[in-house]
Amino acid sequence: MPTLSRALPLAVAVFLVVPSSFGQSSPVERKAAEALFRSGRDAMKRGDLKTACARFAESHGIDPLAPGPLLNLADCEEQRGLLLNAQDHFTKAASMMSETDERLPVAKERVTALGRRVPHVILQLGRSVPAESKVLDDEQELDPSAIGTSLPRNPGAHVFTVRAPNRADRQIRIALGEASSETVVLEAGEEARSQSPSQAPAGSNARRTAGFVLGAVGLVGIGVGATTGIMALDKAQTFHRHCDADGSCDAEGLAAAASGKALTVASTISFIAGTASTALGIYFLVSSKDTKAPPKTAVFTTAIPGGIQVGWSAGF
């Protein structure tokens, strides 16, 4: 970035003139604008171009009819490398001056010189870009009429983004040098992919969770049923060893008969409940692609005369 202005010595002298630079503002506004102008000049002497440009811009904002702050703002911007901004402000300042103003020839010369240094970019749309796409130039949406035309830009880095329906954004970054001209072909991003598992709807996640829980409970139930079934078989063998064919049993045979009956009932209940829960869990897992909320389910047991009834309910 240049540290010295490319202005002619005459231009520097002209830009430093303060009183005649201000327009038709009120006395209070004129004093405020002059104070900001002088603050900007002081910042320029210190090499603080960012502050200087800000002060000149504030001074111009208070008194927009005064060309002086605008001329100095343009000079400051040129030194910061903001060539397009500087050219625009020199052009605007020149339009505010009369033909007898000694600053006018200098301003026009600066406009012409900057015109040779400002870089340009031509944006073209590739075949992958749908008609309804938007193009962003450094986060600012471009008018469709700007596509295919030579666009002046400040030197430096620029980012162009293609935003198309049902496609990912695609960005192209370029760096423009002084007086350069670049042609950039823009393409659309990849088509949107199907939802990943992490993006699946809440209903689908709930179904899978319910499926895993019910499946685990079912497997535990089947395991309990198998264990109590084995124990019931063992009690049956004890019953046969300690009981006669007519049903007469000793104390150990009677105990085995009572325990065996209870274990048989427990085994049966566990097997049925476990199988039902496992089947329901499998159903939820298979149907987890459905985005609807999972049905409310419950496995229940009911005491009935002579045994226990096992069942399950679901609300859809």
Question: What does the pLDDT look like over 209-223, one tens digit per residue?
Answer: 877 787 787 687 687
Q: What is the pLDDT of residue 2?
A: 42
Q: What is the pLDDT of residue 312?
A: 52
Chain centroid to CA 289: how far? Answer: 26
Q: At what angle do helices 27-46 and 67-79 cross, to 10 degrees?
A: 20
Stretch 265-274: mean pLDDT, rounded? 75
Domain boundaries, the chain: 9-117, 120-186, 201-315
Q: For the ranges 33-47, 196-210, 302-316, which has the lowest average pLDDT?
A: 302-316
CB of 77 within 8 A of CB of 52?
no
pLDDT tens, 52-76? 999 999 999 999 999 999 999 999 9
Q: For the ranges 24-38, 79-93, 216-230, 299-313, which has the lowest average pLDDT?
A: 299-313
The CATH fold of domain 120-186: Immunoglobulin-like (2.60.40)
Stretch 20-43: mean pLDDT, rounded? 86
What is this structure's pTM? 0.59
Q: What is the pLDDT of residue 5?
A: 45
The answer to whether residue 6 scores a pLDDT higher than 80 is no
Burial class of residue 164 (count of CB atoms within 10 Å of its CB; 0-12, 13-18, 19+): buried
How far apart are the C-alpha atoms of 25 and 75, rounded to whole Å?
Answer: 23
The answer to whether residue 143 scores a pLDDT higher than 80 is yes
The CATH fold of domain 9-117: 1.25.40
Amino acid (one-letter) located at 168: A
CB of 66 within 8 A of CB of 21?
yes
Question: For a pLDDT cut of 90, what percent of the chain falls above it?
Answer: 52
